Structure 1
Amino acid sequence: MTFTLVVPDLRFSRQAGFNPLTEMALPGLASLLGRADRNQLGGQSAEQWLRGHFKAESAGAAALSRLVDLPAAAAGHWLRADPVHLRADRDRALLFDAGLFDISAAEAEQLLSALNSLYAADGFEFVMATPQRWYVRLPQAPDFHTTPLSVVTGQDIHPHLPGGPTALQWHRFLNEVQMLLYGHAVNDAREQAGKPPVNSVWLWGEGPEPTGLAKPCRSVRADDAQVQGLALAAGLPFRALPPAFDASGADGELVLLDTLGRSARQGDLYAWRAELERLEAAWFQPLLAAWRAGSLPRVQMILPGDEATLAASLGPAERWKIWRRPARLEECLVMGS
């Protein structure tokens, strides 16, 4: 079996005069990538790669994460309706997801209560899974298409608003939600405390229930509810992401190591570098040692990127390819190199 490590937000686009890896020592990562057989795949997110890996391309994101978040919820047409902060920027409205700010359960409950009071008569039901993850059950199947929250974070929302035959109806719906949340006492208190208001929700994740998934691994380790849902739908065990590489049970395991995401979305280079240094010590060096010792016969690393995804494979044969030197990380991690 193969140990698969998926690491989003490690690759970056080339920018003149900018190298986030300057003066960083990452010998474990460099040795893993240097010894591996490397292939460039098409640009895709970690979510897209994982869906393809499990043969779950058509399943709805809300349907997947709801398996974990709301296993006892009534059947129906569910969407993710995650709390977000919109910030005006000239003629744009930039979106920031709840992973970039704090929201308490009490605040979330009050905001959801207001939404349910306004929309219950229309057949909508808003539900909190966690303070950062909300859902809405629709009165009928959605006749529109949406954009995943991960794609929109930090971006102008206008090119990503719902599209399709009923798009304008849902644009009006979002405007109503924003007006309701704008004047809510929770947001008044947040602004007085210097916190960003939770002034909208982002609708996304339409699609059918997952069926007929592949079993490409023995088990999954991830904190992401959608990935846990993939495991559950495939009949595979899953556990939370550990803080460091754990060799016990690692053979045949798939791990989503997504801890670079918050700093990447915030554009916080110092935090990104600090987390990458932690991953080097806690994950890459121990993984390299386990592979060299033979306790993990095969290792696959997937580094997703919008422009290109890097797949790096290490098997028993690569242990003898001692002429392969540690990789120059800028060449491996900069997309377009």
Structure 2
Amino acid sequence: MSDTPHLLIPLAASHAEGCAQAMQRLALPHLDALLARLTPLEADAGEETDFAPPHERALARHLNLPGAPTPWAAWHARRQDGAWAFITPCQWHVGADHVTLTDPAALRLDEADSRALLAILAPWFAEDGITLAYDQPTRWLARGAVFEGLATASLDRVVQRDVRAWLPDAGQARLVHRLHSEMQMLLYTHPFNDARAARGLPPVNAFWVHGAGALPQPPAPVAPPEVPTALRDAALREDWPAWTAAWQALDAGPVARLAAHVAAGGTARLTLCGERGALAWHAAPRGLRQKIQSLFKPQRFTSLREQL
């Protein structure tokens, strides 16, 4: 098992206009110093329409998991007995020309409410051969043949966006699409949501399937990377002042520690992920020519945004 520290940063940059403006004023001295000492690895180029965001693809590679679709639920459950998926209870806000999935955290589901809702929905899923089990308030585990090889969009792709572009293929997931319709009708007037409304809480009227697939055998063990989530959380909300503050905290904390480790001769990996692709570096011996070039052409984070 490798003990090389790996800092993997989701949504280090975005193509949103607010992010572009924030980056013009962003100073990250420790990151720039670290980049000057690292050797680039092969970039991961993708599209914003990929179901798996770059940070999930990078994490799957680090953990020796299969590529997209990555069976995150089966890996999390440490199960090799069939196909699994995550089910996240959520709210779909239906507008005139869009169906937006609001951030599940905004539901303020606690364990008691989540378990009560699971007890309501589990029999409906069971009729279609899907077994549900509680994992955490905004995420359940599901097992069923329908999840075998099913490409599902990451929750990070669909939060605050129109769900219609991110639903699994209708031909392959006809059962899932039908369950979406049935659960919306069931929950629309259900006493569960009446009780939540009386407490000033938003209704739960839908669910999202993600991390589907089977894991025939466990991957080779590896030390997990450090994956800070503050940038991701702020970017999904498009809160660019919070995103800027999160980057400054990262630069002063984990990035500064990694830079010091590399400066002292240690090995390390750094992966910066955006909405389309990811860039990775590692600490490796560099030739004299590379060292001289780095003095005249230092790599700055702000120049890398278009590659992410």
Is TM more than 0.5 here? yes
3-state SS in 2 of match to 1:270: helix
- C-alpha distance in structure 2 between counterparts of 1:174 and 1:158, whole Å: 12
283-292 vs 137-146, which moves further: 137-146
Decide which of 90, 98, 111 is 2:117's aligned counterpart. Answer: 111
Q: Is the alpha carbon distance of 1:184 and 1:261 closer, same or farther for their aligned partners in structure 2, counting shifts above 3 Å?
A: farther
Decide which of 60, 64, 73 is 2:71's aligned counterpart. Answer: 60
Contact 1:9 1:264 in 2 (8 A): yes
- C-alpha distance in structure 2 between counterparts of 1:292 and 1:92, whole Å: 50
Structure 1: runs of 5 or more not aligned: 221-253
1:163 matched to 2:174? no
User: C-alpha displacement at 1:89, in angstroms?
Assistant: 3.1
In the other structure, the counterpart of 1:211 is 217
What amino acid is the match of 1:27?
Answer: P
Counterparts in 2 of 1:78-157, with a 5 A limit?
A: 78-138=84-144, 142=148, 145-157=151-163
User: C-alpha displacement at 1:141, in angstroms?
Assistant: 6.0
Q: Is the alpha carbon distance of 1:121 and 1:307 closer, same or farther for their aligned partners in structure 2, counting shifts above 3 Å?
A: closer
Decide which of 25, 28, 36 is 2:27's aligned counterpart. Answer: 25
Query: Could you list the per-position Cα deviations for residues 121-149 of structure 1 after superposition, in whole angstroms to 9, with x for gaps in the alignment?
Result: 55433211010211223366658543232
CA RMSD of aligned residues (A): 3.1
Decide which of 234, 241, 250 is 1:263's aligned counterpart. Answer: 234
Q: Is the alpha carbon distance of 1:262 and 1:122 closer, same or farther for their aligned partners in structure 2, counting shifts above 3 Å?
A: same
Higher helix share: 2
1:293 matched to 2:267? no
- C-alpha distance in structure 1 between counterparts of 2:143 and 2:219, whole Å: 24
Q: Is the alpha carbon distance of 1:286 and 1:141 closer, same or farther for their aligned partners in structure 2, counting shifts above 3 Å?
A: closer
1:199 matched to 2:205? yes
- C-alpha distance in structure 1 between counterparts of 2:212 and 2:18, whole Å: 39
User: C-alpha displacement at 1:165, in angstroms?
Assistant: 3.2
- C-alpha distance in structure 1 between counterparts of 2:107 and 2:31, whole Å: 30
Q: Is the alpha carbon distance of 1:208 and 1:77 closer, same or farther for their aligned partners in structure 2, counting shifts above 3 Å?
A: closer
In the other structure, the counterpart of 2:49 is none
Q: Is the alpha carbon distance of 1:336 and 1:90 closer, same or farther for their aligned partners in structure 2, counting shifts above 3 Å?
A: farther
Decide which of 186, 190, 199 is 1:180's aligned counterpart. Answer: 186
- C-alpha distance in structure 2 between counterparts of 1:78 and 1:307, whole Å: 26
User: C-alpha displacement at 1:163, in angstroms?
Assistant: 1.3
What amino acid is the match of 1:290?
Answer: H
- C-alpha distance in structure 2 between counterparts of 1:278 and 1:16, whole Å: 19
In the other structure, the counterpart of 2:243 is 272
In the other structure, the counterpart of 1:247 is none
Sequence identity (%): 28
In the other structure, the counterpart of 2:274 is 305
In the other structure, the counterpart of 1:330 is 302
Contact 2:84 2:214 in 1 (8 A): no
- C-alpha distance in structure 2 between counterparts of 1:33 and 1:122, whole Å: 51
3-state SS in 1 of match to 2:10: coil
What amino acid is the match of 1:130?
Answer: Q
What amino acid is the match of 1:271?
Answer: A
Q: Is the alpha carbon distance of 1:290 and 1:318 closer, same or farther for their aligned partners in structure 2, counting shifts above 3 Å?
A: farther
3-state SS in 1 of match to 2:45: strand
Higher strand share: 1
User: C-alpha displacement at 1:305, in angstroms?
Assistant: 2.5
Decide which of 22, 35, 38 is 2:37's aligned counterpart. Answer: 35
Q: Number of residue pairs matched? A: 294
- C-alpha distance in structure 2 between counterparts of 1:170 and 1:60, whole Å: 17
3-state SS in 2 of match to 1:81: strand
